[in-house]
Amino acid sequence: MILDRHNLHGFPVEVETGASVAELKEAVGRLQGVQPDQLRVIFAGRELSSDSTLQGCDLPEQSTVHVVLPPAGSARHSELVLQQRLGRGVNSLTRLDLSASRLHATSTGLAVILETDNSKPKAHSSFYVFCKSVCKAVQPGKLRVRCRTCNQGTLTLSQGPSCWDDVLLPDRIHGVCQSQDCDGRVAEFYLKCAAHPTCDNDTSVALDLIMGNVRHVPCIACTDVMSPVLVAQCAERHVICLDCFHLYCVTRLNDRQFIFDPVVGYSLPCAAGCPDSLIKEVHHFRVLGEEQYERYQRYAAEECLLQMGGVLCPEDSV
């Protein structure tokens, strides 16, 4: 079952697993009274070729694809033709791996976690998120892109992201929105939980330091080989499993030994105590669990108040 969107009006379309993109166009064309060869199918920032199969395009079940009519007008048509040629070299977001951008090019020691054979194709995406709405846990994530102007997934990318900054920072990657009523040019990336079906606005925060342990590197704390793991941003890129990271966070929270940084916030360094290694995305501390994370937020607010010269009132005061 594929959720198809045509000019902002969504409806389900049932096709066989081995169906081609051309067959999807024919199904939509019949429903909408449009010639199939006039339609374009867009998924995750790429236009899908008519001779491709949906399965070959890495479309999971209950995926959202966008079937659009190209905007009228010769100038806009020429632009879209050029964009189509540029977009042919864009790799699928479903197989993208940005983990290496969190390591130095000359990393040694435990950082071999990411030194894989580049000649081998990636079996799947390597993103992780904290699913707050359903799973309440760290889960594999799926990267998606939309037009920043209209917030629809009808934008095709001129080039794909090559590092985490391309995904997390605005105005880094551009493309062309193929919706008839939009002339957007800027890509906006977001992540969703891959463990369950999601609606368009059900997004999750990227946990860019958590990744698969493809080289079976032992945890710096328990020495067990686990996956996924958190890779600290210290010079050595120390690896810690999520169970030990949870214990590390709880222990430091109980002792109120988190560090308040005016830019980063209330955070922790590498578990080995390495300098200049504060975790910048504090949503990684969601691994604490809901109750402990609420305590973390309360301590963070209190520490911020103290840093500003404020005074805490005893809870039992009248």
Tell me: the pLDDT tens digits for 4-13? 444 445 667 7
d(CA 92, CA 142): 11
Confidence at residue 151, expressed as pLDDT on a 0 to 100 scale: 92
pTM over 0.85: no
Residue 94's pLDDT band, with cuts at 50, 70 and 90, is: confident
Q: Which among 58-62, 88-92, 267-271 has the top mean pLDDT?
A: 267-271
In the chain, what are the domain boundaries?
2-87, 93-105+121-208, 211-307
pLDDT tops 50 at residue 3: no
pLDDT tops 60 at residue 123: no
Confidence at residue 121, expressed as pLDDT on a 0 to 100 scale: 46
Non-local (6+) Cβ contacts of 62 within 8 A are: 1, 2, 3, 197
Confidence at residue 89, expressed as pLDDT on a 0 to 100 scale: 54
Residue 108's pLDDT band, with cuts at 50, 70 and 90, is: very low
- Mean pLDDT, rounded, for 260-271: 96
125 vs 138, which has greater pLDDT?
138
Q: What angle do CA 137, 142, 59 make, to 5 degrees?
A: 130
Q: Which among 16-25, 197-206, 239-248 has the top mean pLDDT?
A: 239-248
Question: 10 Å Cβ neighbour count for 5?
Answer: 19
- Mean pLDDT, rounded, for 208-235: 93
d(CA 49, CA 58): 13
Confidence at residue 193, expressed as pLDDT on a 0 to 100 scale: 94
- Mean pLDDT, rounded, for 184-192: 95
Question: 10 Å Cβ neighbour count for 214?
Answer: 17
Confidence at residue 18, expressed as pLDDT on a 0 to 100 scale: 81
- Mean pLDDT, rounded, for 281-296: 96
Confidence at residue 114, expressed as pLDDT on a 0 to 100 scale: 52
317 vs 17, which has greater pLDDT?
17
Q: Which among 81-90, 95-104, 153-162 has the top mean pLDDT?
A: 153-162
The answer to whether the beta carbons of residues 176 and 155 sit under 8 Å apart is: yes
| DSSP string computed for 45-86 | TEEPPTTSBTGGGT--TT-EEEEEPPPSSHHHHHHHHHHHHH
d(CA 191, CA 161): 14
**Eight-class DSSP state of 223:** -
How high does pLDDT run on average in the chain?
83
d(CA 197, CA 258): 36
Percent share of the chain, pLDDT over 70: 81
On whether the 2-87 domain is CATH 3.40.50.300, my answer is no
Tell me: the pLDDT tens digits for 131-173? 998 999 999 999 999 999 999 999 999 988 999 999 999 999 9
- Mean pLDDT, rounded, for 26-32: 86
**Eight-class DSSP state of 274:** -
pLDDT tops 80 at residue 251: yes
C-alpha separations of 242 from 2, 89, 185 in Å: 34, 36, 39
Percent share of the chain, pLDDT over 90: 49
Please, what CATH class does the domain formed by 211-307 belong to?
alpha beta
Residue 74's pLDDT band, with cuts at 50, 70 and 90, is: very low
The answer to whether the beta carbons of residues 127 and 206 sit under 8 Å apart is: yes
C-alpha separations of 237 from 71, 144, 153 in Å: 48, 28, 35
pLDDT tops 70 at residue 113: no
- Mean pLDDT, rounded, for 288-293: 95
Non-local (6+) Cβ contacts of 134 within 8 A are: 193, 195, 196
The answer to whether the beta carbons of residues 264 and 282 sit under 8 Å apart is: yes
Residue 85's pLDDT band, with cuts at 50, 70 and 90, is: low
The answer to whether the beta carbons of residues 130 and 204 sit under 8 Å apart is: yes
